[in-house]
A = this chain, B = another copy of it.
């Protein structure tokens, strides 16, 4: 019978990021991650399908937060305002996660396969947001462009947030990036 391990997921995440940062993603095995976390490899596989999942385990939850929040905004709101309030909610998802996000980003940027996977997740997220906007009655190309704009703001704001020390929250960076996109689009 499986023993209950307090905060096994968090310990595995921490151990995985430590090892990925020290030796590189390719050179790290699931057995080493489990050992560093003081857990068995069996426990590792109860929580993650493979070592890549430690980095992407949150992607589905993130897409759900994005889609559910956007889908729940009032249909009377302009699409870009619906996206703005969605980004505020999404930012809360990353509260207390700055250090994890910063280290995860460094591991991903160092590995072509992981960068590809991150791009695919963002592309699938953009498609899900466009579909959600269409369901709310937004026509194309406005739906696709609002979704792409939201992802661009998220990407740029997120990268700036992980590049800083974490004192200012992600919401600030996302708001700033959206404001800047509006300024850019207005031709200033």
Which residues of A are in contact with B by a Cβ distance under 8 Å? 78-81, 115-116, 119-120, 123, 140-142, 144-146, 148-149, 152-153, 155-157, 159-160, 176-177, 180-188
Contact = CB atoms under 8 A, between A and B. Distances in A.
B116 A177 contact: no
A184 B120 contact: no
B116 A184 contact: no
A145 B141 contact: no
Contact of A145 (B81, B123, B156): B156
Contacts of A123: 115, 119
When all copies of this chain in the complex are counted, the total is: 2
Contacts of A116: 116, 119-120
B184 A142 contact: yes
Given A78-B187, A152-B152, A187-B78, A181 B145 contact: yes
By DSSP majority rule, is chain A's interface helix, strand, loop, or mixed? helix
A157 B159 CA distance: 26
B176 A141 contact: yes
A181 to B, nearest CB: 5
Given A81-B187, A185-B185, A148 B141 contact: no
Nearest to A79: B184
Nearest to A77: B187
A123 B109 CA distance: 13
A186 B179 CA distance: 10
B184 A145 contact: yes
B187 A80 contact: yes
Given A145-B177, A148-B156, A182 B185 contact: yes
B186 A182 contact: yes
A152 B120 CA distance: 15
Given A80-B184, A119-B123, A148-B152, 15 more contacts: A78-B187, A80-B185, A80-B187, A115-B120, A115-B123, A116-B119, A141-B157, A141-B160, A142-B183, A144-B156, A146-B184, A149-B149, A149-B152, A149-B181, A186-B186
